[in-house]
Chains A and B, each alone.
Chain A
Amino acid sequence: MPIDPPFNVYRDQLTSLYHGLALWNPNPPKSIYDRVSIGDVGYVREGVFIRMFNVILPWDHESNRTLGEPEPYESLDCGSFTNILDVPLKTQEHYSRFVSAETNDNNAQAREPDK
């Protein structure tokens, strides 16, 4: 029976909600980096983001040497003004189009998926 890898199904289904590229495994590989940051350069492998280096940091920053020393580069300059919008995400549930949710209590209610 053909089964699609969960990380691909998860990515395809939740990415369509326009919150971003959905990572099946949100936990950063601690041996490589502590958390995803703006300016990271990397790739996604089986639902895990693999960070190679961060271009806002200097090329020879210690955290940029985890997977090998990058070629020298000029750091990405975001400017002197505030350039990051940081807002709370209050939505708790995110599910794709063909998933339905129903509260398990005496007053069970079906809910629509997150659009």
Chain B
Amino acid sequence: MVPASPDSLSWFNNSCSAEGVTYKCRGHGALLYLPHGGRRADIIRTKVFEDYIRDHVVSWFTWAQKNQQGVERMEDLILVSGCTLVSSWAAAAFVYNTMDAKLSLARRTLSNGGECFVWCNIKGAVEYHDSSISPVRSPDFVYWARTDFSFLCGKQYPPTTPDQCVFIRGFRAKRVLFWTKPMRAAAEPLPDDPDNRRDDEIQVTRVPDGPKVGILHCELMVRVS
């Protein structure tokens, strides 16, 4: 039997005693398990954040490029206005878009009062990991970590306050180009017509409603005047 690496894609089948919850998926899917829940913190009055990112995003983007942050587009930058923090988590992604896949997840309480996540019954293309490896944190318990059939015991971590961020909320901003085309009766304006005027405007969108990273967005809004 081949022990699975917590961060590696698992293509093998294995089994373990029936326990916990089995998750099945056809195609893409994802799950997040939070044994101790978490805390949501959000700004109530968000307008000040919207105004602030609109005023500063250009300088942030310039700074990011100057400091070689690898930020390719202005809209990749996020101003955080809310987040969900947890102390421990388990997450999985069903990564193949046409294949059936499943896995089981259980919590196991150890004799010393600790807990661990157990992943098993894995079939198909599923990638999974948990806070055990990074390391497990719990406000109430000292965790021991186990993934598949390999115990990662021997380390004890002191209780901590939630610092693992599973969801973020906030704002992005991007530059939108407005082309002002003076319309003439007899002919369209030439491309190099000096009367063509371009105005830039910063458009703010909410995260996660904003554009996804890695997808090319090209917006050209034409205003006819």
Q: A interface vs B, CB < 8 Å?
A: 1-15, 19-28, 34-45, 49-50, 52, 55, 67-68, 70-71, 73, 76-79, 82-105
How far apart sit A66 and B113, CA to CA, in the bound complex (Å)? 38
B25 lies within 8 A of A38 (CB): no
Please give the distance in Å from B205's CB to the nearest CB on chain A.
12
CB neighbours of A82 from chain B (8 A): 44
Residue of A7, A40, A89 near B34 (CB, 8 A) is: A89
Residues in A with CB closer than 8 Å to B70 are 45
Residue B177 at the chain A interface, CB threshold 8 Å: no
Q: How far is the CA of A26 from the CA of B135 in the complex (A)?
A: 11
Chain A contacts of B77 at CB under 8 A? 41-43
Q: Which of A12, A24, A86 contacts B28 (CB 8 A)?
A: A12
The 8 closest A-B pairs by CB, nearest first: A20-B167, A13-B30, A95-B31, A35-B163, A6-B93, A36-B165, A26-B164, A6-B127
If A26-B164, A49-B165, A52-B69 are given as contacts, then 12 extra A-B residue pairs at C-beta distance below 8 Å, sorted by A number, are: A6-B93, A23-B166, A28-B164, A36-B83, A37-B83, A41-B80, A50-B69, A79-B45, A86-B40, A86-B41, A96-B29, A102-B22
The reply to whether A19 and B167 form a contact with Cβ atoms under 8 Å apart is yes
Which residues of B, 83-114, contact A by the 8 Å Cβ criterion? 83-86, 89, 91, 93-97, 104, 106
- A22 to chain B: which residues have CB within 8 Å? 30, 32, 166-167, 208
Known: A4-B95, A24-B93. A99 touches B67 (CB 8 A): no
Q: Does B131 contact A (CB under 8 A)?
A: yes
Total chain B interface residues with beta-carbon distance under 8 A: 78
Q: Do A38 and B29 touch across chains, with their CB atoms under 8 A apart?
A: no
Do A73 and B59 have beta carbons less than 8 Å apart? yes
Tell me the bound Cα distance from A90 to B97 in angstroms: 30
- Taken together as a complex, chains A and B put the C-alpha atoms of A53 and B184 apart, in Å, by 49
Q: Closest CB of chain A to B201's CB: distance in Å?
A: 21
- For residue B78, CB closer than 8 A to chain A, the reply is yes
The answer to whether A91 and B168 have CB atoms under 8 Å apart is no
- A2: min CB distance to chain B, Å: 8
Among B48-56, B142-150, B151-159, B188-196, which stretch is in contact with chain A?
A: B48-56
Bound complex: CA of A24 vs CA of B63, how far in Å?
26
Contact between A20 and B168 (Cβ–Cβ < 8 Å)?
A: yes
Nearest neighbor of A5 in chain B, beta-carbon distance: B95
When chains A and B are docked, how far (Å) is the Cα of A80 from the Cα of B78?
A: 24
Residues of chain A within 8 A (CB-CB) of B22 are 101-102, 104
Bound-complex Cα distance A55 to B9 (A): 38
Q: B134 in the interface, Cβ–Cβ < 8 Å?
A: yes
